[in-house]
Amino acid sequence: MIFDTRVSEVLAFKGSHHVWTLSGSASLLDAVNLMRKQSIGSIVVADDFEVVGVVTERECLAQLSQDGILPKAAKLRDIAKVDFPVVSMRTTARECFELMAAFRARYIPVVESGQLSGLVSIGDIVRALVDDQRFTIEQLMAYVTGSYGNIANSWDLPASSLEVGALRVGSGLMNE
C-alpha cells in the first residue's frame, strides 16, 4: 500500500547503503571537497561511530557566505545540524515524509542497532512512493479492464500470480 514502503525497501531499491561520513573535527573545506568529489548533497558527522550531526550543502553555503569564515578553520561539529531525525529500517515512507517536513530535512540517517546503516533523501522517498502509486494504478487498471495478462507480460510474471492478487483486492473492495 502507498506509504507503507519501509526504509529497508527504499535502500534496497536505491542499491547503495554507503554513507559518506566525516568526524566533527573535519573542516568545512573537507566537507565541501568531499561533496563535490562524490557528487553528494550531505555528509553525516560521526565521532567514535556515533552519529552526531548532518551537514548539507545548505549549511556549507550558509557558513561560506559569512564574513570572516575560513573554510579550513571552521569545524563540522560547529556547523552540523544536531537537531535531526534518525530512522530505522522499519520506518515507513510516510513517517519519513512527516519527519522531513517537521525537521525541514532533506536527508535522514538510518541507524540500526546503534550503527549507521544508510541515508535516505527526500528524492529516495519520492521515488519509492511514485513506484508504489504506479503499481497500485496498474493493479486497479488491470482489475477494471480485466487485463491481468497484459500486466503480467510487462513485468515478466505469470498471469496467475497477478490475477489472484487483483481478485483479492477486488473482492475486498466489493465486500466493504
> Domain map of the chain by residue range?
7-126, 127-175
CA 131 to chain centre: 14
Per-residue cell: 47: 565521532
Mean confidence (pLDDT) of the chain: 82
Read off the amino acid at residue 81: K
Non-local CB neighbours of 80 within 8 Å, separated by 6+ positions: 24, 45, 52, 53, 54, 55, 59
DSSP-based helix, strand, coil % in the chain, nearest 5 = 50, 20, 30
The total number of residues shown for the chain amounts to 176
pLDDT beneath 70: ranges in the chain:
1-3, 148-176
> Class of the 7-126 domain?
alpha beta
pLDDT at 82: 86
The tens digit of pLDDT for each residue in 130-171 reads: 887 888 888 888 888 877 655 555 555 444 444 444 333 333
